[in-house]
Amino acid sequence: MSIVTFKDGQKRCEACGAALPAFSCTDLRKHFTCGRESCRKAVRQKAWLTVPVAEGEKACEAPGCGKPIPAGLHQRRQTRFFCNEVCQNKFYDALSPWNAHAPIAALRFIATSGGGDA
């Protein structure tokens, strides 16, 4: 662990984009915010409740799709990933026992894949 020094304006607040004054910190520091509580709270919530997912890291779980999900921040507790809302609806419609229109192939896919948990 070492001390890193930043000059005026070298770092910006992750929430509002304001230039930060000169400061020193350890090289372990990951998030930089200005002194406003709203900015600190926004960055803290983003860091604690989301997880970054790279392009192609996860595949859509809808029956017959398999496209890569979009890169970005996703909810930390999210267990199923879909490339779009249509695929998400297709997946959950196939799970519904009240859906008379669910294709047999989709139900078979879910049954053989252990419910889609991966």
Kindly report, residue by residue over 13-70, the tens digit of the pLDDT. Answer: 988 999 999 999 998 888 888 889 898 888 877 777 777 888 888 999 888 898 998 8
Residue 5 has pLDDT above 90, yes or no: yes
Query: Under a CB-based contact definition with an 8 Å cutoff, are residues 56 and 27 in contact?
Result: no
Average the pLDDT over 68-87 and give the result: 86
Specify whether 62 is located in the same domain as 89: yes
Are 23 and 67 within one domain?
A: no
Residue 4 DSSP one-character state:
E
* Residue found by looking up tokens 């192609």 in the block: 56
Tokens standing for residue 12: 């910006």
What pLDDT score was predicted for residue 10? 92
Q: Same domain, yes or no, for 69 and 99?
A: yes
Dihedral (C-alpha) 36, 42, 43, 44: value to the nearest 10 degrees? Answer: 100
3-state secondary structure string, 15-65? Answer: CCCCECCCEEEECCCCCCCCCCHHHHHHHHHHHHHEEEECCCCCECCCCCC
- Of residues 13 and 93, more confidently modeled: 13
Residue 43's domain comprises: 3-51
pLDDT confidence tier of residue 118, bands split at 50, 70 and 90:
very low
Supply the pTM of this predicted model. 0.46
Residues 43 and 89 in one domain: no
More confident residue, 116 or 76: 76
Residue 118 lies in a domain: no
User: How is residue 116 annotated by DSSP?
Assistant: T
| Burial of 20 (C-beta count, 10 Å sphere; 0-12/13-18/19+) | middle
pLDDT tens digits, residue range 59-76? Answer: 998 888 989 988 888 887
Examine the domain organization and report whether 21 and 64 are in the same domain.
no
